[in-house]
Structure 1
Amino acid sequence: MDSSPAAPKPTAKDIAAELRREITDGVREVGARLPAARQLAKDRGVQLMTVQSAYGQLRDEGLVLTQQGRGTFVRDPSVPLGTEPGSSPAYTALASELSSIHDALRLLGERLDRLEQVVGSETPPSQ
């Protein structure tokens, strides 16, 4: 992006879209560290909060993870969301909730199987 004073400054959405394209196109590989937020803000001529917001968007989408003191990295899509250090708290909570729902559905399925066996073993009334 052009960072000249006359050029419009990119928004967090613009920066996130550019990084998202780079990630999905394979320009930034799994495990690759994204630029430090301060440096990217300086390079783009935007406030630090703008870059932090862009990184937050990508983290909420499950594309990157942030490790305190280390940086922001492209996450491995084969690893279940919410299980790595630095995962979005929203995805961590969602993964936990989905696990609970999965367990409840499994138990309900087992109960239904038992009920069907009981009902199926009863002899129908004679006419």
Structure 2
Amino acid sequence: MDQSPEAPKQTPMAKEIAARFREKITGPNREYEPGDRLPAARTLAKDLGVQLMTVQSAFGQLRDEGLVLTQQGRGTFVRDPSVPLGTEPGSSPAFTALASELSTIHDALRVLGERMDRLERLVDTETPPSP
């Protein structure tokens, strides 16, 4: 009898799990649409034979890339790309901080633009016409 030993099944690393789901979310044959829930991390960890932290790390990578949102007690969902980053519950803390900072900068630029407009109007009304 010719029995060749099976190659041991390799357990995927977090970056490999993230790559699989990235393809399922953004690839041409996507399996997940915006709003779809990804498998529960515990269930996926058991199915893949990896530690829960490995799956959580993979989902964290996808969240940091802006592809998914994690909602405490509800799960991980594919993010709608039409919604501005950092504005949804479950957004990456980095994106939330960035969105807040950008909003502050936008407001400051708007105020500065209004001040420039007023200054230009003042200059135009005070400058005598050229001879």
TM-score of the two chains, using structure 1 as the length reference: 0.85
1:113 corresponds to 2:114: no
Equivalent residue pairs, number: 123
Alignment counterpart, residue 88 of structure 1, candidates 83, 92, 111: 92
Partner deviation per Cα, 1:54-100 (whole Å, 9 max, x = no partner): 11111111111111111111111111222222222221221111111
CA–CA separation in structure 2 for the residues paired with 1:57 and 1:89: 12
Number of the residue aligned with 1:101: 105
Q: CA deviation at 1:21?
A: 1.0
Residue 10 of structure 1 aligns to which amino acid in structure 2? Answer: P
- Alignment RMSD, CA only? 1.9
Q: Give the 3-state SS of the residue equivalent to 1:117 in structure 2.
A: helix
CA–CA separation in structure 2 for the residues paired with 1:89 and 1:5: 41
Structure 1 residue 124 displacement after superposition? 6.5
Distance 1:5 1:113, change over 3 A: farther
Q: CA deviation at 1:41?
A: 1.2
Letter in 1 for 2:24: E
Where structure 1 has 5 or more consecutive residues not aligned to the other structure, the ranges are none
Structure 1 residue 34: Cα displacement: 0.5
For 1:124 and 1:58, the matched residues in 2 are separated by 61
State the partner residue of 2:8. Answer: 6
Which of 51, 68, 71 aligns to 2:72? It is: 68
Alignment of 1:11-26 (within 5 A): 11-25=13-27, 26=30
SS at match of 1:29: coil
In structure 2, relative to structure 1, the CA distance for the partners of 1:123 and 1:7 (3 Å cut) is farther
The share of aligned pairs that are identical, in percent, is 73
Return the offset for 1:8.
2.9
